[in-house]
Structure 1
Amino acid sequence: MASLHHLAAEAAPGGKLRLSINVGNPILARRSDDGAAGVSVDLGREFAQRLGVPVELVVVPSAGESVDLVRSRAADLGFFAIDPKRSEGIAFTAPYVLIEGAYLVKDASPLRSNDEVDRPAHRVVVGKGSAYDLFLTRELKQASIERAPTSPSVVDHFMQCGAEVAAGVKQQLEADAARLGGLRLLPGRFMVIQQATGVPDDRKATATALRAFIEEMKASGFVAAALGRHGIHGASVAPAA
């Protein structure tokens, strides 16, 4: 196992642990006076404290940008959902939080269940580069996909373009439905989003240490406490790897 000094040098070669924080998913992070706050920020700060290095937050509005920052080494550690398309250049941990992906429609829509969505006449609005964009791009065979710039803008884009379905993180859709009115979620979920952390895949010792750290944070109650502290409901701590 790498010494703490060598691990810190590998994990944060610039002397600071640069955390890529996606504020497009409000379950994980949101903008704050300090740049960002949330369970992902708490985890990143705790890992940096273990390494004995300061933190620099690199805050972005979408998961796709967060992935690109880590892949290009413009950030040292990121928080994003596990997906096969994201594995190139990034070493993932096991998930620390599970989030449901859901569909939203207008009250007047004839759609009543998730299995009615994939039809030729339907347009599904997603956040560009999000976990559910990647998933639905593979899974939907007949419906077409329309991409909003970010996940928080999905429902507004859905309303403006007149599409049939919006897809996203269940809690975000619920909040937008309450804000706008005249909208409802289809029952259940179409996917479970596995939120994990990742580092550049050539940082082998860092990846090993980070995987052990995430398991410890789940088992110790740190992740559950962070979700509670930030008032997050509807997300669950992922089981042990």
Structure 2
Amino acid sequence: MNTQPSILITGASSGIGRALTLHYANAGYQVWAGGRSMDKLQQLCNTHQNITPLLCDLTDFDAVKASASQLPALDILLLNAGTCEYIDDAKQFDGALFHRVISANLIAIGYCLEAWLPLVKQGGKLALTSSSASFLPLPRAEAYGASKAAVSYLARTLSIDLKKDDIHVSVIHPGFVKTPLTDKNDFSMPFLTSPEKAADIIFKGIDNHKNEIHFPKVFTWLLKAFALLPFPLWKLFAVRMTK
């Protein structure tokens, strides 16, 4: 009988998801690593016998639903996958970009929840990766920020409704983490964190049943403080950021 605790991590091919996969594997979990690149997933599996690839496009509902048959009961479901694109000119709003980001960061989570949440054991855990960008309206973040704000709301609502099922819900609000996505950013990223450090913080937060996991604390508390300002005052700061 397999006594290893089990976890499914999406977005395992790179960045925070890859670091989380390795962290949980090192901690003795049976890890199902979700991603769209079998080559990258296989590289992960080659490092640990307790990592199993789950090849799946999360924006394809039929594929996500079908993948449930490959999975066991789960101790943890960690929905980490996502993307980031910015609206460069709000006046020339890019509807296709908006659709891509909302689909990948939000709608796909709905698909995952329908397919995989029933597999989470009583007493298990669900974690959703949002972003500290959800704390404040930021320049060019009409798509990314909106999607992550919705993820945060979704996680908090689920934490209320899943209480009766004894499933604990954590929402993760990272600051800037060095990943292939942030490598594309053309602006300063204060308090940039390594994916390994991010994975360690997330692991401990989930293990300790934290409702919210946010880091690095200096940066995220600063954003939370700015969020307390009257919006017209914050708007003055934000407009200056674009100049």
**TM exceeds 0.5?**
no
Determine which structure has the larger strand proportion and give its number: 1
Choose between structure 1 and 2 for higher RCO, CA contacts under 8 A separated by at least 6 residues.
Answer: 1
Q: TM-score, normalised by structure 2?
A: 0.31
Which TM-score applies when normalising by structure 1?
A: 0.31
